């Protein structure tokens, strides 16, 4: 099973990664980098974008450093496929989706969400994921190779 991050800021990494890929971004002052992060979040998470705009200088520098270190430690991804199972005509994927409130564990059957549970730590999430997979396998589903 793939590793799920316990970093509470993991949901920000895809946005931060996109910004860091811009050639000029590293030369921006921290105030402008934080502003760009807030602007990138605005459409998806307007309240979180406003929080970032309100960071004081010390918080801004610390959070940008935390994001840089987290990005260096692991790939930036919004969703991780943990496993998949199938029957003759049906396919179920289990994914972990990083959100501001934690990590959402989801079962998707043919792309439609059939089950979801929010977690604040990766170990509990992985334990529940194993329970869900075992329950499906016990009822005749076959494990498949993940694409994530």
Domains of the chain, by residue range, sit at: 10-73, 79-144
How is residue 67 annotated by DSSP? H
pLDDT for 2 equals 58
pLDDT for 13 equals 94
pLDDT for 148 equals 53
Which of 125-140 are b and which e, b meaning 16 or more Cβ less than 10 Å from the residue's Cβ? bbeebeebbeebeeee
pLDDT for 117 equals 97
Q: How large a percentage of the chain has pLDDT more than 90?
A: 79
Residue 26 burial (10 A CB sphere; 0-12, 13-18, 19+): exposed
CA atoms within 13 A on the CB side of 59: 7
Question: Residue with structure tokens 């920000």?
Answer: 12
> By three-state DSSP, how is residue 42 classified?
coil
């Amino acid at each position: 099973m793939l590793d799920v991050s316990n970093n509470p800021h993991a949901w920000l990494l895809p946005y931060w990664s996109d910004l860091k890929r811009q050639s000029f971004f590293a030369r921006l002052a921290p105030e402008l980098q934080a502003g760009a992060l807030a602007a990138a979040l605005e459409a998806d998470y307007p309240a979180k974008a406003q929080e970032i705009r309100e960071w004081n200088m010390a918080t801004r520098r610390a959070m940008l450093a935390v994001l840089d270190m987290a990005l260096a430690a692991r790939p930036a991804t919004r969703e991780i496929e943990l496993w998949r199972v199938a029957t003759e005509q049906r396919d179920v994927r289990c994914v972990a989706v990083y959100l501001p409130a934690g990590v959402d564990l989801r079962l998707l059957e043919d792309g439609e969400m059939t089950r979801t549970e929010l977690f604040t730590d990766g170990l509990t999430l992985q334990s529940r994921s194993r329970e869900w997979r075992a329950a499906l396998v016990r009822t005749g589903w076959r494990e498949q190779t993940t694409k994530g």
